[in-house]
Structure 1
Amino acid sequence: MALSGISQALSSAQTFLASGGPSIWAIALLSVAGLALVLWKIWDLLSLGAWNGGPHVRRAVAYWQAGDAEAARAELRDRHTIRARLARACMTAVADERFDKSTAQEETLRVATHLLTRARAGLRPLELIATIAPLLGLLGTVLGMISAFQTLQEAGARADPAMLAGGIWEALLTTAAGMAVAIPASIALSWFESVTDRLRLEMEDAATRILQPVGQSPIPQPDPAKAA
């Protein structure tokens, strides 16, 4: 029963691909590439700590501003998220006696640019898929329409309107397929860009606070009188 259903689905897919012509095959390949790219990008952002690691960096920055550099570094120890890596690099640049404030800022900017470029890896190919998929669909429709009208012209007086309608129906399949690939790819692209933009803002905020003079924002200490 299950094998029969799978066989029927494969047969329908082959018929669909054959009806759309070369453009539908290109769109099918784009759909596979787009799905693989989206799944890889989700895994990639997870490995970079795009959705976690923020509290540790905030605590480390608070310790740093209070003048407790050791506690700040300990908070970031063994943390490999993108925010932690930038905060650690910024603290190292500030603590390096060879660097003045301007040089420390330049070093922090260099590291941040490298990390953000790493976080945005894969977005250009996804943008390309979202752009060219509907164009391939439109190309397939135009080619299909040309073929349908050529067939109609060759039929002459014996032309059957149903034959023309069938050719147009098959041609429009490619437009629908291209849009079906482009819409999810565009949604995924916008989502990934919003994630990387949020990372950029959080990294910029952390670096700015680390580069401030130490001791400007002390961590509140408990009142001994109240504790007694």
Structure 2
Amino acid sequence: MNTDKLLPFLSDSTLLQSGGPVVVILLVMSIVATTVILVKLWQFLPFGIGSAAAVQRVLKAWQEGDRKLALEHARAGRQPVQRVLVAAIDAMLAGRHDAFVREEAERVAAELLERRIRYLRILEVIAALSPLLGLFGTVLGMIDAFQAMESAGRQVDPAVLSGGIWQALLTTAAGLAVAMPVAAVLSLFEGSVHRLRHQIEDALTRLVLSAHGQDPAGA
């Protein structure tokens, strides 16, 4: 592919004129996706910093019997795992039974996880819909091109026909250009949510086992 000829065209407003409404819709979708991605990055990035070490401090203090210090360590950070441990430790110090402790901790965890997955559905829809919109635009463009060829009868200009076809194919390219990075970022976010859920379950189980004098390393 001759990118020297393609890139100036793509950097030009001609792309919007050639692609028509489909490209405009894809452009709006890309702006929405970029906004959601930036919001989720702002939400995800700070919480992974030092999370494992912070949780280890909480569990170590709890295993050593220093309940007050464990609670202080848990309240010292804003990582989701620490916030779940705060809820669990508060319930334990209040003398609640294990079932209540787990229910309260899981309630807090569900709320925190829901915040992490919020708006990810938008990215999922954009990643799935963008290629279809691009293909739809291409089909419409091809219909226009062949209608023009039919109207011209025997005096068809191959250059005009080929020009109409490649302009129609631009919508498919635009759809894929939106869908691929969105799908990749969505996969990363979903992986982060999965890891966070695992970390919460692991830390909560270790805390409950420690409360009963069991070795969490052997769980």
Provide TM-score, normalisation by structure 2: 0.89
Alignment map for 1:35-46 (pairs within 5 Å): 35-46=34-45
1:50–1:195 contact (8 Å) kept in structure 2:
no
Residue 15 of structure 1: how far off its partner (Å): 0.7
Instruction: Pick closer, same or farther for the CA change 1:11–1:132 going to 2, 3 Å.
Output: closer
Aligned position for 1:162: 159
Aligned partner letter, 2:150? Q
Q: Which amino acid aligns with 1:39?
A: L
Match of 1:137 among 125, 134, 139: 134
Q: 1:122 Cα deviation (Å)? A: 1.9
Deviation at 1:50, TM superposition (A): 2.9
Structure 1 gaps of 5+ residues are 1-8, 219-228
Question: Residues 85 and 14 (structure 1 numbering): CA distance in 2 closer, same or farther, change over 3 Å?
Answer: same
CA contact (8 A) 1:144 1:167 kept: yes
Is residue 83 from structure 1 mapped to residue 81 from structure 2 by the alignment? yes
With normalisation by structure 1, the TM-score equals 0.85
Deviation at 1:79, TM superposition (A): 1.4
Pick closer, same or farther for the CA change 1:59–1:26 going to 2, 3 Å: same
**Alignment root-mean-square deviation, CA:** 1.9
Gaps of 5+ in 2: 1-7
Deviations 1:46-102 (A, max 9, x none): 34x1343221111101211232111101212331111111111111122222x3211
Alignment match, 2:94: 96
Larger radius of gyration: 1
Asked if 1:70 corresponds to 2:68, the answer is yes
Partner residue of 1:17? 16
Query: 2: CA distance between counterparts of 1:101 and 1:191?
Result: 34
> In the alignment, is residue 147 of structure 1 matched against residue 147 of structure 2?
no
Partner of 2:193: 196
Shift of residue 125, structure 1, vs aligned partner: 0.6
> In structure 2, how many angstroms separate the alpha carbons of the residues matched to 1:42 and 1:83?
18
Note closer, same or farther for the CA distance 1:178–1:53 as it changes in structure 2 (3 Å cut).
same
State, as a whole percentage, how many aligned pairs show the same letter.
Answer: 43
Give the structure 2 partner of residue 226 of structure 1. none
